[in-house]
Amino acid sequence: DLATIIWLANSGAIEMHPSTYLVSRPDTATYAIIDLDPTPPLGYPAAVQAAQYVRELLERLGLQGYPKLSGATGIHIYLPLAGGCSFEFTSHLVREIGLVLRKQHPDKFTLERLVKKRHGVYVDYLQNSPGKTMVGVYSPRATAQATVSTPVCWGDLDKYQPEDFTIKTVPQWVQERGDLFREVLEPQPLDGLCCFFLPILDG
């Protein structure tokens, strides 16, 4: 609520990292998040390419994903869920998505947790574990440019840079484009256990 956000700002908080569940349903995820984190020296362009591969896979699964810039170099893709999905389900779903992506594009994706052993773009499925948080929608980031973690359309990913979305520019962006995150709050049905069939999708 607005009063809490104002209190956090007055307390000196810059970034806000909410959980993925409602207070009324702490054991149930409201969405799954595909967290794409480019391994240095890779940057935002690598995340954009990875996100397009994710989009193609989601379309094959009949799922709709909604991208959000992290405010740094990464991209977060939100998958709205029909009610009742556990964190075990969302973690497993995103892990299986990552495994398929790594098999299809071994030079582009990794699930390696140790940074020094990584290459390509890391699919951080562990962000879907219980108790994990993610930088919130429209949250400022502690960067020199005061970037903001902003939801965008798929076609915007290669048209803009993270630095284009700051505490100065995002209010106008939202005024012109509307709240692009609103659709994430509408659950989408999951026809069957998608995660069970993911490993065979690549043929």
Q: What is the pLDDT along the chain (203 residues), one digit of tens a residue?
A: 789 888 988 999 999 999 888 888 899 999 999 999 999 999 999 999 999 999 999 998 888 999 999 999 999 999 998 767 889 989 999 999 999 999 999 999 999 999 899 999 999 999 999 989 999 999 999 999 999 999 999 999 999 999 999 999 999 999 999 999 999 988 887 765 455 555 544 44
Q: Indicate the pTM of the whole model.
A: 0.91
User: So what's the pLDDT on residue 191?
Assistant: 65
Say what the pLDDT of residue 202 is. 46
Domains of the chain, each with CATH number or no CATH: 16-198 (3.90.920.10)
CB 76, CB 44: distance < 8 Å: no
Contacts with 116 (C-beta within 8 Å, 6 or more apart), sequence order: none
Question: What pLDDT, on a 0 to 100 scale, did the predictor assign at position 118?
Answer: 93
